[in-house]
Amino acid sequence: MGILFEAVLPIFAVILCGFLAGRLSLLPYSGSSSLNYFVYYFALPALLFSSLAQAPVEQLANRNFLLANLFTLLGCFLLTVLIFRFIFKRRFPEVTMYGMITTYGNTGFLGIPLLVALFGQEAAVPAAIVTFIYDLTIITLVVLSFESAKKLTDSQENGTMLRSIVRSILLNPINASLLAGILVAVSGLPIPSPVFMFTDILGPAAGPAALFSLGLGLSAERQVLKNKHYHIGEFLTLLTLKLLALPLLAAVAVYFIFPVADPQWAASIVILSALPTGAVVYVFAEKYNTLVNQVPFYTLATTAVSIISLSVFLMLLIG
């Protein structure tokens, strides 16, 4: 419990700094957009490239570990989309943003520090791989959904639309950095040390900047705790899917469907699945102007409730 609070409270502190900066007029509310674009186009791609480029190839190719993660993410993402499409009557591609809320966890900003605190420095490797899978899978699904909807709205020909979608995915800065990192790791291409020094300087800014931007965005909402832009049924459904259904699905995957031999790696998948919604989701909410008012509230709510839910999973997994 002490480790969990040590990891979660600093996150709230950074969000609070952004919130106070806006409320005290130290920064304009519009600064949130600039910070989000900085994270999206610069800091996060640098962080992901650096982590993956230096990962051992044999660990990147751990088949059951990869399959268990994909099964968990895609299963919960699809379940969320179906629930919000047919029960809550939300439209496409908005439903995919709900899927991102329930599957995209705070792996980079909370998960890696938590696992390192629990298992030691070697735990950073599975956490980095999971972060890669989250980004490549979930972000690609969201980008594909919104870009395809945009092309359909523009009434372009199917062939032209498909080419535009592929370009949008491949040129997406996050996806491009992930693919570049994998290419370097697999091929063994020599990368000049100044490149890694550059990414090591820029990459760590992704977490604080995203969290600070979240707080700054919240400061513009005078009644954030009385947010009227969400329905209680949707809110409770998202909490249940993110903090209960996703980690339970992960446990079934790693212990029964795709058994992961290393107990720490198996536990890592479950723990990372039990994380609250990542602040990066707000970057995409703003980028596509979808659920912009709801995502900050959901992010804070899942972070607060995860103190309890994560503690339960930690006690079950590691005692």
Concatenated DSSP letters for 208-245? HHHHHHHHHHHHT-TTGGG--SS-HHHHHHHHHIIIII
Tens digit of each residue's pLDDT (9 = 90 or more) over 198-231: 988 888 888 788 788 878 877 776 555 555 566 8
Distance CA 213, CA 201 (A): 19
Give the confidence band of 273 by pLDDT, cuts at 50, 70, 90. very high
C-alpha–C-alpha distance, residues 96 and 256, integer Å: 28
d(CA 60, CA 109): 21
Distance CA 63, CA 239 (A): 30
pLDDT band at 145 (very low <50, low <70, confident <90, very high): confident
Which range scores top for mean pLDDT: 49-53, 125-129, 294-298? Answer: 294-298
- Tell me what pLDDT residue 31 has: 82
The set of residues, in sequence order, having a beta carbon less than 8 Å from that of 260 and lying 6+ positions away, is 62, 64, 65, 68, 254, 266, 269
Give SS3 for 260.
Answer: coil
- Distance of CA 25 to CAs 30, 101, 121, 126, 138, Å? 11, 30, 40, 41, 35
Query: What's residue 245's pLDDT?
Result: 96
Radius of gyration for the chain, computed over Cα atoms and rounded to the nearest angstrom: 19
What is the value of pTM for the model shown? Answer: 0.76
Residues 6+ apart with CB under 8 A from 28: 22
The continuous run of DSSP H or E covering 171 comes out as helix 158-171
Q: Report residue 277 as tokens.
A: 């919604």
Side-chain half-sphere exposure of 26, counting CA atoms within 13 A: 12
> pLDDT (tens digit, 9 = 90+) per residue, 165-186?
566 566 678 778 878 888 888 8
Residue 55 per-residue DSSP state: S
Q: How many CA atoms lie within 13 A of 120 on its CB side?
A: 3
Distances (CA, A) of 309 to 239, 276, 313: 10, 10, 6
Fold type of domain 2-118+135-318: Na+/H+ antiporter like fold (1.20.1530)
SS3 content of the chain, % helix, strand, coil (to 5): 80, 0, 20
